Structures are given as C-alpha cells and as structure tokens.
Structure 1
Amino acid sequence: MSTVAAASRILRCWAEIDLAALERNLKLIRASLPPHIRYVSVVKADAYGHGLHSAAAHLMHAGADLFAVANVTEAAALRELGPGWPILILSPLLPGEETSLMDSDAAATISTAEEVDRFEQAAKAAGRTITVHLKIDTGMGRVGVWHEEAPALYAKVTAAEHVRLAGVFTHFASPDDDVEFTAEQRRRFLRALQRCPGLDPSKLFVHADNSAGIETMPGSSPFNAVRIGLLQFGVLPHPNSMLGQVRTEPVFSFHTRVGLVKRLPGGTTVSYGRTHTLQRDATIAVLCAGYADGMPRAASNRAHVLIHGRRCPVLGRITMDQTIVDVSAVPGVACGDEAVLVGRQDEEEISLAEFSRAADTIPWETLTSVTKRVPRLYKTALGF
C-alpha cells in the first residue's frame, strides 16, 4: 500500500496533489513556447489551493523564471523558500506595506503617481530600492494606469531615484471569448509602450498573456514573458488555446469517504428544503464532505461523484459537512469506501471543469474554495 493510500484511510476528506505532474506540465508548456519567452508562474491564493510551498518548490525545480502572487503576505511566505527567484505582487500595496515588500525582496505593481511617491519616500528612508512592474490598463478597468496616461507615469517611475522598473504588463479582460477586444487591448498596450521614450523591452519583463490568452500572442513583438496560472496545474482555461495540444495532466484530485449507507422508501424527501423526492426505493450514501470542505452548495441535485468506478448523482441539498448520493445502482457500497469528487476512479473521470459546471462556477473558484480543513497529500516523482 502506498504512503498516500495509508494516510487517506484515516481521512474523511482530502485532496491529492501530483507534484511530479506539475513539473512535467511546466516543462511541456515551456517547450511549446518560443525560446526567448520567460515563464511567470502565478501561484497566488496558496498556488490555487494546491499549497504554495510545495507547488512553488517544484516549479522552481522545473524552471520558472518569476513568481506572481497577490499580496505581501503571500510574497513573504514564498520568500521563505529562499532567495534567487523574482517575485511580483499583482495587487496594489496598502500604505505601510512597503517595509514588508522590501523585506521580501519582491516587486510591486504600480498604477498611480501616488504610489511612485510613496515607494520613493519609503525606499529612501530605508536606504534601499523598491522594484516595480508598471501595469497599463488597456480595458480591464481594474488595476493599472489608463493606457493613454501610461507615458507620464513611466516618466515619473524612471525619474525616481529609489524605484527601479523591472517590468511592464497589462491584463486581458476576455481572452477566452472575445478575440477582437483582446486584439484591441494588445494594440493599446503596444501603442503605450511605443510612447514611452527610452523603454527597452529587452531589459524588462514585458507580459500580457496568461493561460487563457496565449492563443492570440503574436509571434514577433516586444512580449518576452507569459503568465501561467491554471494551465500549469493541468486545467485548460480555454479549449481553443494554442496550448491545447500540450497534454498537461491534472495535478489536483478531490476525495472523500462514505460515512453511512441506508435504504429509504420511495416518496422520501432528501436533505434541507426537501428539494429532492425519491421516485422509488433507493440506497443512499452519506459522504463525509460538504460545503465547509469545498463541495459547493450550488452543485446540489446536479453533481455526480464516483464510487466503485461508477457515477452516483447527488441528491438534495449539499450541507455543511455531508453530501447525499444515490448508490442504488452500485452494489456493495459500504461505510469507509472512497468517493471521488474530482478525479479518476477506474475507467471513469470527473474533471475539474465538469465539477465546476455542476456548481455553476469556474475552475479558479473551485480550486480556491477547497478549505483548509481538507488535508493535501503530495505525490512526487518518488511517490507519495
């Protein structure tokens, strides 16, 4: 019996993280990109719920060039792995976070003149330098300087003595479903770069494309880096991506156990709100996972799970700690049996995309909603 199998026997609910697959995915993605393109690995939100330290350590080993996180807390946690890899914080910094930024040796995203002044003052007082990436808003309407105003902010950044520009980037609003607007955002970004005198893309990280937007990346341009988040974890955000031919492997799977099996007569209503009525006598299994673990309530009466390699429908509302499924067609189900919520069991599979559709959400939210009470079991090339 493998170590993970032994460990999971005493767990009610757990996630398995295949770190060897994560490394293989990064290498496959890199091999599909032009040689000069650098790899920005996005590991915010605890590496999309996979575990920051474990995932980042293996991404470092596989050849990531830069890591992107959401805030200074994540940057500090990532820096615990050691010096050497650049870190970019994607969200705005709050006043007072400058010291943590410098202590983590991370780069800040800069969008306003006020931030330049604040960073310059903090870095000068500390006798240090703050590294930044200038973000240009080309239509996302969120973080970043509006593209028409980018040259003025670029001039202010480059004139600051204690602020060092290390990159320039933008963010696409609809790369997976609006090719025309993505192309317009790209044109706005390129025009903004051209209007910044002295900007040398060869000395900066210049990035716009993420896992969902790579299919529109031109072959010849100042872009020299891509931001890869979900794709490195084996989830293709957009089926028409140019990287769709890269056979990335799922890194994450989600498991629980049967806590109880019982027989109920036809006509019985199931769970809170009585949203499901049994049409005939049925055998039901009560699973040891609910919405407090990451089994979304919106998947009530819609999702399926795998037990003994067979699909079993969810019945009624998913509750905080338990989910009810119909196992009438699966003989021999017993207390303690494994149920797969996301992943493969025998010849059947429930993908992360299918699980997310059943909950009327997206894979990003699904992964980051698997809670801390769900242990992560890690698999490496040497086994679990």
Structure 2
Amino acid sequence: MKPHVNRCWAQIDLAALERNLRRIRATLPAHMRYVAVVKADAYGHGLHHAAARMMHSGADLFAVANVAEAAQLRELGPGWPILVLSPLLLEEDPLLAELDLAATISSAQEIARFDAVGRAAGRRLKVHLKIDTGMGRLGVWHTDAHALYAQITAAPHLELAGIYTHFASPDEDAAFTAEQRHCFLDALSRCEALGLRLDQSLFIHADNSAGLGTLPEGGRPFNAVRIGLLQFGIQPAPHALLTQVHTEPVFSFHTRIGLVKELPAGTTISYGRTHRLARDTRVAILCAGYGDGIPRALSNRGQVLVGGHRCPILGRVTMDQTILDVSALPAVACGDEAVLIGTQPTPNTAQPSSEPAATSPAPLAQIDIGEFSRWADTIPWEILCSITKRVPRLYQSPLGI
C-alpha cells in the first residue's frame, strides 16, 4: 500500500509555541501566573501536543471549555491544575472528583451539587468563583458575589481556588473594560469584608490576551492571566503590553494543486456562475474547500500563495476544491504547494551577478490569519476552530527547539 499523501494540512510549530509562552511570561509582572487556555482542541492546534509543550514551558494552570476536553488533557498526566470554564451538566458532576478538576461556580445550586460530589469522594474539590461584571453570560452578578463567596467557604467539601471575571470588549471599549474591572474589585472588597484574603493562595484573574494592555500598574490584586490566542502568535488587539512581546505564528494552513488547465474568455466559474472570465485564463484547482476549512465567504474575494505570488480565488469555494487564477505562473503544475495561511519565499527576481551570493534569507510573501479572517468577515478564533478534522496537523520540532 502506498504511503498517505497529504492533500491539505496544517503545520504546527511547537518550538515557536514554547518561545511565545516564555516571552509572554517574561513580559508579565513576576507574581503573575500563567493560565494557558487550551479549549477547542487548543484553538485547533491539537490539545495533546500543545499542552504537553506548555507543561515544559511554564504554564501554571490549564483552562478548558468542558469536561470532555479536561478528560483529554488529564491523559497527559496527574497533578496539573485544570479549570473547567463552562457550566457542568448534572451527569458530569462526578468527573470533578474522578479527574481532579476545578469547576466554575456561578450559582448556589452548583455549590450544593459540587459539595455533594466532594462528600461522596471524601475530599474537598477545588472551585473558582466567577463574577459577572457585564458580560451577561456565566457568573454571579457582581453585587451578589459576596453572598455566594460566603456559601462556598461554608461548604465543607469545597475549596476556593480562584475568583475571576470575563471582559466583554477589552479590545474595543476601554471605558467599559475599566467599569467591569471596578465592579470586580468592588466585589472582591465585599468578599474581603467576609474574610477573603487576596494572596497567592488564590488565582485572581480577569485579563485574557486582548485585555492585557489594561492591567493596572503592577497588576495587583490580579495574580493570574488567561492566555489563549496570543500564545499561538496571534495578537488580538494592538495594546501596549502586547506590542512588547514578539510572538511568532504557530499555525500555518497548506494545500496542493490538483489540476491546472486553460479556460477561454467568457467562461463562468463554479456553482452559481458568480465569476465570468474577462480573458483567456490559466486556472488551478486546489485540493481543499470549505470541507477543510476554507470559508465560503472567500469566494471571489480571497487570495492564496502559489510560488510566492498572490493568486485570486475565482468563483465560489466548493466543499472539496477551490479555483485560482494562476495566469501569472506559467510553470505551475499539479502537486505544487499552495499556502492559505502562512508564508512562501518570493521568486528570486535579482539579475545574475559575479558577486558572492547574499547570505540573508529570501523575502517571504505572507497571508496572515488576520487578513484571512477579514476576507471571511470573521475573527481568527473562528477560523482556527473551523479547520476541520479532515486536515491533519503536522508537528514541527516536537522534542526541542
């Protein structure tokens, strides 16, 4: 049997991931702990590989969306703190003790449920109190947080391990973010009046990748940050703190050309005939479509790198193929690589010379995930989560930098 050939794939640079994590940590205040958010299969990068690398790079706590993700993460070994960010279903409650997880608490009902699990297990379960300061999603409303705090501390089989909130628009609305931070700090003060001690024994966290630039001077009383997109080399917002960190893209998206052909002027392209060729055109058909994660919104709009050139997408993206105009590339052929997100060396246009060859690397053509997302009228988070399971992840430098 012939070896498998990748028609479409994503490359994951684990060494870049480790460098990113270390650089972010070096920028944070010394007391600040690193909560690595690895939900949605580590934002499409592959949970096992990404988290294993982070364990060797200084992550203090892992945050996942649900118990199923936590179970996958726990396969890597015992002892690593894992926070489940989303609410649990009743049937999932026993897994808190079985997998040694920290649950998010937003209500008195959850306190009773999780305390019962701890009682049955004969030990205390760790929990994080979430405070709603204006997101309107999970968490107890900030003016009632102190009452829920008191109930948690009174529950004999629960241990408060953290308190946190979630900013609704840190990358777009600094004033509302400041208001949310004030509400959170006020809620903490009310809890302090009931005995809360704001020290390193608790994770106090509000900021994520997009909110880091609004950290108060010194960061206190916050002592942890939740880092998701930034650790993968994607800056969600141009805040001052973020620009101090040089992060590298970890993810790139590739496919190959399956067919090259000539079509006459006037030919209509793909479903719905939404593009008509204005001239005789050389087209290439990619071995990937929306079934792999190329958004249909890139139809007649997006571009793809082939041979270091930007080639426009013609017509509608289909489930398994995408059509490009490669008229500028007479040598393009079946099997050539095309880059959807990432870089390619640009063609060498220098004239022959008797001088020694330059040692500097060739310039790179690039389509970054921000540009790709804008073509699709969406955000990098969604793009990363939409690259399907049909696309294998190929890991670079899995064992060392």
Question: Shorter-chain-normalised TM-score: which range?
Answer: over 0.9
- 1:10 Cα deviation from its structure 2 partner: 1.8
Q: How does 1:135-146 map to 2 (within 5 A)?
A: 135-146=130-141
The code of the aligned residue for 1:217 comes to L
Q: Does the residue aligned with 1:30 lie in a helix, a strand or coil?
A: helix
Q: Paired residue for 1:53?
A: 48
Q: Does the residue aligned with 1:82 lie in a helix, a strand or coil?
A: coil
Q: Does the residue aligned with 2:23 lie in a helix, a strand or coil?
A: helix
Q: Paired residue for 2:230?
A: 231
| 2:385 pairs with 1:368 | yes
Unaligned 5+ residue runs, structure 1? 1-6
Q: Paired residue for 2:59?
A: 64
The 8 Å contact of residues 299 and 360 in structure 1, kept in 2 or not, is answered as no
Q: Paired residue for 1:350?
A: 367
Cα distance in 2, alignment partners of residues 100 and 161 from structure 1: 19
TM-aligned CA distance change 1:210 to 1:46, over 3 Å: same
Superposition TM-score, scaled by structure 2 size: 0.92
- 1:383 Cα deviation from its structure 2 partner: 7.7
The code of the aligned residue for 2:288 comes to A
Cα distance in 2, alignment partners of residues 49 and 8 from structure 1: 25
The code of the aligned residue for 1:70 comes to A
Q: Paired residue for 1:198?
A: 195
- 1:308 Cα deviation from its structure 2 partner: 0.6
- 1:240 Cα deviation from its structure 2 partner: 2.7
- After superposition, give the CA deviation of every residue in 1:226-275 in whole Å (9 maximum; x if it has no partner): 00000000000002342112110000000000011011111111001111
| 2:27 pairs with 1:29 | no
Q: Does the residue aligned with 2:252 lie in a helix, a strand or coil?
A: strand
Cα distance in 2, alignment partners of residues 195 and 248 from structure 1: 38
The code of the aligned residue for 1:111 comes to S
- 1:182 Cα deviation from its structure 2 partner: 0.1
- 1:126 Cα deviation from its structure 2 partner: 2.6
Q: Paired residue for 1:3?
A: none
| 2:182 pairs with 1:182 | no
TM-aligned CA distance change 1:89 to 1:381, over 3 Å: closer
- 1:185 Cα deviation from its structure 2 partner: 0.1
| 2:56 pairs with 1:39 | no
The 8 Å contact of residues 37 and 224 in structure 1, kept in 2 or not, is answered as yes
The 8 Å contact of residues 97 and 121 in structure 2, kept in 1 or not, is answered as no
| 2:17 pairs with 1:17 | no
Q: How does 1:1-384 map to 2 (within 5 A)?
A: 10-196=5-191, 197-202=194-199, 203-220=201-218, 221-346=220-345, 347-380=364-397
The 8 Å contact of residues 264 and 283 in structure 1, kept in 2 or not, is answered as yes
The 8 Å contact of residues 139 and 172 in structure 1, kept in 2 or not, is answered as yes
The code of the aligned residue for 1:254 comes to F
Structure 1 segments, 4+ long, off by >3 Å, are: 381-384
The 8 Å contact of residues 210 and 229 in structure 1, kept in 2 or not, is answered as yes
Unaligned 5+ residue runs, structure 2? 346-363
Cα distance in 2, alignment partners of residues 156 and 9 from structure 1: 57
Q: Paired residue for 2:354?
A: none
- 1:98 Cα deviation from its structure 2 partner: 1.3
The 8 Å contact of residues 212 and 241 in structure 1, kept in 2 or not, is answered as no
Cα distance in 2, alignment partners of residues 170 and 8 from structure 1: 49
The 8 Å contact of residues 283 and 325 in structure 2, kept in 1 or not, is answered as yes
The 8 Å contact of residues 8 and 14 in structure 1, kept in 2 or not, is answered as no
The 8 Å contact of residues 75 and 89 in structure 1, kept in 2 or not, is answered as yes
Cα distance in 1, alignment partners of residues 109 and 334 from structure 2: 60
The 8 Å contact of residues 260 and 284 in structure 2, kept in 1 or not, is answered as yes
The 8 Å contact of residues 36 and 226 in structure 2, kept in 1 or not, is answered as yes
Query: RMSD of the TM alignment (CA)?
Result: 1.5
The farther-off stretch of 219-228 and 340-349 is 219-228
The 8 Å contact of residues 15 and 397 in structure 2, kept in 1 or not, is answered as yes
The code of the aligned residue for 1:234 comes to G
- 1:122 Cα deviation from its structure 2 partner: 2.1
- 1:381 Cα deviation from its structure 2 partner: 6.4
Superposition TM-score, scaled by structure 1 size: 0.96
Cα distance in 1, alignment partners of residues 372 and 71 from structure 2: 33
Cα distance in 1, alignment partners of residues 32 and 365 from structure 2: 37
Q: Paired residue for 1:4?
A: none
The alignment covers a number of residue pairs equal to 378
The 8 Å contact of residues 207 and 226 in structure 1, kept in 2 or not, is answered as yes
